[in-house]
Homo-oligomer: A and B are copies of this chain.
Amino acid sequence: MALVNHRFQLTSRPVGLVKRSDFTYSEAPVADPAEGEVTVKVRYLSLDPAMRGWMNEGKSYVPPVGLGETMRALGIGEVIASKDAKFQVGDFVTGLFGVQEYATLPVKGLQKVDPKAAHLPVYLSVLGMTGLTAYFGLLDVGQAKAGDTVVVSGAAGATGMVVGQIAKIKGCRAVGIAGGAEKCDYLVKELGFDAAIDYKNQDVKAGLKVHAPDGINVYFDNVGGDILDAALSRLARNARVVVCGAISQYNSSEGMKGPANYLSLLVNRARMEGFVVFDYAARYGEAGRELAGWVAAGKLKSREQIVKGLDTFPESLLKLFRGENTGKLVLEV
């Protein structure tokens, strides 16, 4: 193959917000697949808050991206060369392709998807890890049941909007916390949330008092910081706090802010629990079918915000931390 690949290698560990200078943008010939490998032309990359954590040194739920390595990213693309009988040229697949145009990699972990059944970016969103994260986080970790009041932060983000919609499907009251009137309107008017609190222009604690008058049964947290503290102050007895992320804290260079109101867990006999969606791999099939069914029935809406051009990666990623996205942020390569 005479194809040329462009990629972003992580070459220094960011301090605070990611900068273009933390990466090296380089070009190299596309490698041919070895036995058991395929080469994928990457079409879309998933931009996720978790990527910021992967850039830090130290133990986490996955190893950090090594210096000099291609920045890790989930993506969707088309097989253009295959040395594995299970994958044919022309197949569309999702996998950890990295921030690059072409990925030559072993087939383990690749999932085939049907490009006719849904727009490709949806497989990175509601029908991908994002949807699965919302599903297992809300239903397994959060144990949401009909009648519960479910509050989700980062509610207009990729995971948050799915959490609120699944809550509604399951007969819960869904309250979203998001930044700006436009996002809040979208949650209530388009996605059917019962209420939304605009943390940029409203007092979150006061909003929770109004919209979760009997307390919060499940709080699904994507943001950490002051919003987590506000939610803790309004827990119902036996509440479940699902720790999915803490986007407000990932870029702090002063260290994390812990939830000062955590003794609300004691007062309310509540629990706060973290999870990693990978642990549910054995049940992806079951959950994926349920999510796809809801999408097909019009009960679960997907929304992707597409940004274009691999070379915009560092700046595009920052949109997440500036709250500039509504729905799933996807990079079209």
Whether A256 contacts B267 by the Cβ 8 Å rule is no
Q: Which residues of chain B are near A61, meaning CB under 8 Å?
A: 266-269
- How many interface residues does A have (CB within 8 Å)? 33
Stretch at the interface among A84-92, A153-161, A257-265, A307-315: A257-265
Q: Would you call A36 an interface residue if the criterion is a C-beta within 8 Å of the partner chain's C-beta atoms?
A: no
Q: Please give me the residue from chain B that is nearest to A58 by CB atom.
A: B267
Q: Which residues of chain B are near A268, meaning CB under 8 Å?
A: 61, 274
Q: Would you call A271 an interface residue if the criterion is a C-beta within 8 Å of the partner chain's C-beta atoms?
A: yes
- Tell which of B262, B263, B274 touches A270, judged by Cβ atoms closer than 8 Å: B274
Whether A272 contacts B275 by the Cβ 8 Å rule is no
- Some 14 contacts from A to B, beta carbons below 8 A apart, are A59-B267, A61-B266, A243-B265, A246-B263, A257-B260, A258-B261, A262-B272, A263-B274, A265-B272, A269-B273, A270-B274, A271-B271, A271-B273, A272-B273
Does more than half of chain A's interface fall in helix, strand or loop, or is it mixed? loop
Q: Which residues of chain B are near A269, meaning CB under 8 Å?
A: 61, 273-276, 279
Q: Which residues of chain B are near A176, meaning CB under 8 Å?
A: none
Q: A271-B271, A271-B272, A274-B267 are in contact. Are A260 and B262 (CB under 8 A)?
A: no
Q: Which residues of chain B are near A245, meaning CB under 8 Å?
A: 266
Interface residues of A in 22-65 (CB under 8 A from B): 59-61
